[in-house]
Structure 1
Amino acid sequence: MTDPDSDSRSEDLDLPDDGSAPARDDGSTPSRAERFRVAAVRAAARARDLDQSPTLQRAVRRLRDVLPGDSHFGDPLSLGGGRHTEAAGRAIVGLTGDRPGVVRELGLGGVQLWQSVLERVGRGGGEHEVALVFTDLVDFSRWSLEAGDDEVLRVLRRVGEAWEPPMTERAGTVVKRLGDGLMVAFADPRAALDAVLEARRRLEELHVGGWSPRMRAGLHVGRPRRVGGDYLGVAVNVAARLGDAARADEILVSGEFLGRLDARTVSTRRRRRLNLKGVPDGLEVYAVEPARS
């Protein structure tokens, strides 16, 4: 039968250094519950000491540096996405309370390795070629100044319903929503272009609040670095700059992107007088439309 006072008494026990169960002041033998409590306290203290060991922490950090994948996985930039790996990383950081320790580093190292394996089999970004799409609404900022917040929100919801499904239905991943724009990543350039064409068609049918939203888009292919749920690198900058430079209803693509398409399926026009900052010299830019039957 459990001694009802055992817990309160065990809290005041002095723990001998030799690992034996402490004796009570009256010389009586501690109960089984007291001995278990003492053993648990000692084990927890030893675990904390090991977790906070500077030597072990340095060893685990060196191990993470040589493991495949992002050795910095666990910082805010790498945990911003919606994939399983980012969710697992956020859980580890939450459970360890942002406190450096061996357990935290081992957990993040395991997810780091898992993420690198997914990328190698084509389920991540990494070194794989990606077709990048940037879209936004022409003159949206000027219209929104007069429309008011409630109307702007209503329009953005209608726009999202019009242009997001064509992207996701063709295996596009919406990387981020940029207010009146989207950044979407595709594995297949042809699917990316078809999605943009369908999104533009749906948007042309949309008339809300006396305003007809009009879309522009930029498309490029490259091998951007995937960090968390985002992509970083020159390829991203190129696609974004093409989107900024497009006119209403215009779809601009790079020469690299155009080279991935069947030339018989598109009609092209070279855009020459463009001053694009932050893109490689000699970038060729084309406005594309479906080929006329």
Structure 2
Amino acid sequence: MTTSEPAEPPDGSDHPVPDDGSEPAATRMDRLRAAAARGATRAQELDRSPALQRAVKRLRDALPGDAHFGDPLSLGGARHTEAAGRAIVGLTGDRPGVTRELGLGGVQVWQSVLERLGRGGGEHEVTLVFTDLVEFSRWSLAAGDDEVLRVLRQVGEAWEPPMTERAGTVVKRLGDGLMVAFADPRGALDAVVEARRRLGRLHVPGWSPRMRAGLHLGRPRRVGGDYLGVAVNVAARLGDAGRADEILASGEFLGRLDARTVTARRRRRLNLKGVPDGLEVYGLEPADG
């Protein structure tokens, strides 16, 4: 009678496979772990596939809502959508991936639905102003911290009083910029024009302080002392897009002004991320200025 030798294990482990067809539990676990590792590797490859990422990006562009939802500006609030977005970014990391974009795309649609139902905004219309110093970052690199601090104090003394004197509330100071909220659109424009005039009188060695501003109105949600929502995003994008001394405003803001008191020039070639489709943008100046 011949005794057969145990079969070699299929995965090269030290656990022989008995010839009766059964398999030790340890071997089965090794095989399951190996299969899981292969599956995880394949999932990572698909998640990082450039072709799939481009397809998901096209899908997000076609979905309602902010196709750029997931950047720091859109995740800075305390709403459920923003908290969910931060959780997705935290779980998937900063590395672009299909899973991350699909998750953010779902929250993007959720946010859009809430906005349409009126649950994403506040009760009162607010005019939002964002100001920014042009080429401040370039100048500050060579100026040194002490000089930068000195100049920022002078800038604050120049442009904050015109805001508060016209019933504006300084929501936050952004280093070289401001976010201010107004109840009156005309007061907001007048404050920006006066702030620009006062800033132009400052003299700084090696640099001429010049500002740009973005104005928009909407019904942002107030959380504590801050405002959150699409209207805030739009005003911030406008503030970033202007040229030196330029005041950019949305069509919604312009519609609240007496057309006889302003000169408006349509800005058509602006690539603004994260703003509603069809947003009209104008460069504004007082008609008497």
TM-score between the two structures when normalised by the length of structure 2: 0.58
1:241 is aligned to 2:260: no
Q: Please state how far the C-alpha of 1:208 moved relative to its aligned partner.
A: 1.9
Question: Which residue of 2 is the match for residue 193 of structure 1?
Answer: 189
Question: Which residue of 2 is the match for residue 143 of structure 1?
Answer: 139
Contact 1:131 1:187 in 2 (8 A): yes
CA distance in 1, matches of 2:226, 2:288: 36
CA distance in 2, matches of 1:199, 1:150: 24
CA distance in 1, matches of 2:265, 2:278: 17
1:216 is aligned to 2:215: no
Question: Which residue of 1 is the match for residue 286 of structure 2?
Answer: 290
Question: Which residue of 1 is the match for residue 128 of structure 2?
Answer: 132
Question: Which residue of 2 is the match for residue 259 of structure 1?
Answer: 255
Question: Aligned Cα RMSD in Å?
Answer: 1.4
Deviations 1:217-271 (A, max 9, x none): 0000000000011000000000000000000000000000000000000001000
5+ unaligned residues in a row in structure 2: which ranges? 1-76, 79-120
Question: Which residue of 1 is the match for residue 45 of structure 2?
Answer: none
Question: Which residue of 2 is the match for residue 72 of structure 1?
Answer: none
SS in 2 for 1:175: strand
- The amino acid across from 1:137 in the alignment is L
CA distance in 1, matches of 2:171, 2:247: 19
Question: Which residue of 1 is the match for residue 154 of structure 2?
Answer: 158
5+ unaligned residues in a row in structure 1: which ranges? 1-76, 79-124
CA distance in 1, matches of 2:136, 2:159: 15
Deviations 1:74-118 (A, max 9, x none): xxx78xxxxxxxxxxxxxxxxxxxxxxxxxxxxxxxxxxxxxxxx
- The amino acid across from 1:157 in the alignment is R
Question: Which residue of 2 is the match for residue 202 of structure 1?
Answer: 198
CA distance in 1, matches of 2:158, 2:288: 25
Question: Which residue of 2 is the match for residue 270 of structure 1?
Answer: 266
SS in 2 for 1:238: helix
Q: Please state how far the C-alpha of 1:285 moved relative to its aligned partner.
A: 0.1
CA distance in 1, matches of 2:161, 2:221: 26
Contact 1:151 1:209 in 2 (8 A): no
SS in 2 for 1:219: strand
Q: Please state how far the C-alpha of 1:210 moved relative to its aligned partner.
A: 3.5
Question: Which residue of 2 is the match for residue 60 of structure 1?
Answer: none
Q: Please state how far the C-alpha of 1:209 moved relative to its aligned partner.
A: 2.7
Question: Which residue of 2 is the match for residue 179 of structure 1?
Answer: 175
Contact 1:189 1:261 in 2 (8 A): yes
CA distance in 2, matches of 1:210, 1:139: 12
Deviations 1:52-89 (A, max 9, x none): xxxxxxxxxxxxxxxxxxxxxxxxx78xxxxxxxxxxx
- The amino acid across from 1:155 in the alignment is V
CA distance in 1, matches of 2:185, 2:255: 10
TM-score between the two structures when normalised by the length of structure 1: 0.57
The alignment of Structure 1 onto Structure 2 pairs a total of residues equal to: 171
**Sequence identity of aligned pairs in percent?**
88
Tell me which stretches of 4 or more aligned residues in structure 1 moved more than 3 Å: none
CA distance in 1, matches of 2:129, 2:158: 16
- The amino acid across from 1:199 in the alignment is A
CA distance in 2, matches of 1:253, 1:267: 12
